[in-house]
Amino acid sequence: AAALMPRNRAEIGHAALLSITAGIAEELGFRLYLPLLVALVTGSAGLGFGVATVLFAAMHRYQGWAGILATGAIGVLLAAVYLMTGKLWVAMLLHILIDLNGLVLRPLLGGAGRVSASGASPS
């Protein structure tokens, strides 16, 4: 996962766009479409959310077992938020904020914003 972390200001902007895109697209896919599809095929909404959560976690296997377990737990949380509020945009917003924290805020606090847009360190 370290290779995905932004190293300069330009990459911080790309990471922010990735965070927004992932938050919207992954919530549409893993909290709406996939659970609905599985529920329509099997008749079980619970199975739909279970399958979607397992696949959501597995999709993050590049992060290792800790990442799989963490994203699985986050997937359960986001599904619960969606089911409790009935509003997918709330889960999307939370997902975006989680990703912005990991891909933008933490790298900025770690110094990624102090390098030039070209990637060179300031002299």
Q: Which pTM does this prediction carry?
A: 0.85
Q: Which long-range contacts (CB under 8 A, 24 or more apart) does 14-19 make?
A: 15/103, 15/104, 15/107, 16/100, 16/103, 16/104, 18/99, 18/103, 19/96, 19/99, 19/100, 19/103, 19/104
| Structural domain spans, the chain | 2-109
pLDDT in tens, 38-74: 999 999 999 999 999 999 999 999 999 999 999 999 9
pLDDT in tens, 71-117: 999 999 999 999 999 999 999 999 999 999 999 999 898 876 664 54
Per-residue pLDDT, averaged over 10-25, amounts to 95
